[in-house]
Structure 1
Amino acid sequence: MESVRAVVYMSVVLSVMTSVCQGQRSPEDQLPPAPEEPAFGLTTNQLAEALKGFLDEADSRMGLSVEKKASVIPRCDVGERCAMKHGPRIGRLCDCLRGTACNTFFLRCY
């Protein structure tokens, strides 16, 4: 218990000392300012417009859907079908609500 208390006190002291010493840096130790010349000869607005155009074109080509993702399984209520039998295998249609489970014989949430 004492060691935990000592660690907490040391972390508080170190954080206070760090914040106090931040203002004591000399100008030579600070990072240089960012260069004023634009990257690739383009301004920030031009780069943003080019990126937006590229993403719009890629989205239209791929036909990406934000509504449905492969890893997200919809929820089903109690009594709804939650699985489908494919020969010896059972495929999941939806995920049962909390407190219920998918019955593998009836293939419904109970």
Structure 2
Amino acid sequence: MDNSGMLRGLLCLGLVAVLCHGQTSQEVSSEDFGVDRSDVGAERDFIEAMERILGKMHDRVSPPEKRGIQMCGMGDRCAMKFGPRIGKLCDCGRGANCNSYLLKCI
């Protein structure tokens, strides 16, 4: 009995050791990648420049509401049939298309 209890204990200890072996801290520092502190300033400048560029691009691109075409939700009516032609009521959101048979965003 004593040997089987010690064997079970060793097996459990071995299992815990194997399971815990790969776990490490999720925190990452610049030292892990060998980054100098001088590179951090250059990186910050680069990020600020990218933010300025993206801000300018955002001002140039007008959202669909400013162009006069509203956005429809999924399942909303997005077009109307005028005889052989189809007129557009609104634009379907991302990932949706206006079905020309149902005239709804799907």
What TM-score does the superposition give when structure 1 sets the normalisation length? 0.36
Going by fraction, where is helix more abundant, 1 or 2? 2
